[in-house]
Amino acid sequence: MRNKSKQITIFLLCFFLLSLGKAQAQGLPDFTRLVEQNAPAVVNISTVSHGKQGFHQFHGPRNAPPLPENNPFSDLFRRYFEEGRGGEMLPEESESLGSGFIITTDGYVLTNHHVVDGADEVIVRLNNRKSYEAKVIGSDEGSDIALLKIDAENLPAVQIGDSKNLKIGAWVLAIGSPFGFDATVTAGIVSAKGRSLPSENYVPYIQTDVAINPGNSGGPLFDLQGKVVGINSQIFSRSGGFMGLSFAVPIELAMNVVEQLRKDGHVTRGYLGVLIQDVDRNLAESFDMSRPQGALVARVIKDSPAEKGGLQVGDIILAFNQQQLHDSSQLPPLVGATAVGEEAELKVLRNGEETNLRVRIEKLPAEDDQPQSEKPKTPEAPESNKLGLVFSELTAEEREQLGLSSEEGVGVKDVREGPAVAAGVKPGDVVLMVDGKKIATLSQLEKIIQDVPKGKTIALLLLKPQGPVFVAMRTPE
């Protein structure tokens, strides 16, 4: 009887394990039908550049700011669409490979800007091996989107989805041509949304762990309903290959760009006219905030929509058109996507109180028209204060060079031992504001610092060579 009971127990245990395994297997997605339906709309894109000999390894963002070697993003933006072979000198006629997908049955094709940038010829090869020479309708570096057109009809086209409904942890699938292997399928999950990346101000990327490699660039990212939710654009890589961090442009942003490229041939973005920064824990404490959030305004550009709308230096933008800002990186994409001439509502924290402002968004000016900051020169200065800073008055020439009025700013002559060192203050910086008070003279600045209680965290607005920035520091006990 005991043996029989034991046999029954073993049988039930085996049955349970088999049922569990079957249930788990049934819970995994089956991508076969999705691939059968959508693979014909995914294309291989090859480009040819004539007479452009030079050193190339990867397509990469232009004018990207330098990053520290130990920064995990230091080689994030090697674009994974590889032109050379190990970075050698390219021949006079160079060829490159990438991916794309058909969005209309009459031949409009979507891909990345960096896939076709600088190309003299663009060839689109379909899943059935037919090839067409493509016309570049328009290309936008800011969003890394390019729109192509081939002379063909009755083509298979993808269904456009909506990444806004995409949840973190959801399954997604990519089809493309990694390393030139056509129609390669890889799958993974959504790791994060709204990801901001260095030198990329206007794209809230979808982060996934889908295997993306050189040649996948410009290919579609599908949800389980078989709809395109993104365009695979960038990877984090220390080797040039897949490392588990892939980034896709949200499809609704891409389609907005497509609409503008078809209509105007170029993209127009909204402009607010502020320089902003994140609010860290120390800055949040200095502004009496319960937690870090929002975008701290470090500078308001003269004659900009922000100035006309009443924004001030030291304001913290908490929401833009009812969308809460958890960090400053969320603001540029929201502003950029706002139609020129539209009035935006901003929730702002000013002097500890929330207020609402309405600002009419204008067209983003050309990069050459945007203001630049230059490093000031400072004369001799007195001894350091309790922050470890040595100050000096600015000359009329220095104020003119920096675009400052006669009642604005005091120079930092030297930085000695004290909290200023940890806060990153450097000689040549200019102090514009301390603890919410605008600085006009050296004597005023010294008195403000002298009157700060021991152990209090204060915020200083500094004009650095790269622009204005707030820093927080605690006065010694």
HSE of 64, CA atoms in CB hemisphere, 13 A:
19
Q: Which of 46, 114, 163, 328 is catalytic?
A: 114
- Residue 4, both tokens: 């029989």
Q: DSSP assignment, residue 77?
A: T
Alpha-carbon gap, residue 237 to 243, rounded angstroms: 6
Non-local CB neighbours of 36 within 8 Å, separated by 6+ positions = none
DSSP codes, 15-31: HHHHHHHHHHHHHS---
Taking the chain, what is the end-to-end CA distance rounded to the nearest angstrom?
Answer: 80
Q: Which secondary-structure segment (H or E) carries 7? A: helix 2-27
Total residues belonging to the chain: 477
Q: Could you confirm whether 113 is annotated as catalytic?
A: no
209, 221 in Cβ contact below 8 A?
no
> 224-243 burial, b for 16+ CB within 10 Å, e for fewer?
eebbbbbbbbbbbbeebebe
- Residue 232, both tokens: 């695979």
Q: Which of 144, 182, 223, 315 is catalytic?
A: 144
Beta strand 227-235 with 159-160 is: parallel
111, 77 in Cβ contact below 8 A?
no
Q: Which of 49, 94, 139, 217 is catalytic?
A: 217
**Which regions of 35-130 does DSSP assign to beta strands (E)?**
42-50, 93-102, 108-111, 121-125
- Residue 254, both tokens: 């891409």
414, 395 in Cβ contact below 8 A?
no
Give me the residues paired with residue 231 across strands.
220, 249
Q: Could you confirm whether 217 is annotated as catalytic?
A: yes
Non-local CB neighbours of 428 within 8 Å, separated by 6+ positions = 375, 376, 377, 378, 411, 412, 465
* Strand, helix or coil for residue 33: helix
Alpha-carbon gap, residue 6 to 13, rounded angstroms: 11
- Residue 276, both tokens: 């902003």
Alpha-carbon gap, residue 236 to 79, rounded angstroms: 9
Active site residues: 114, 144, 217
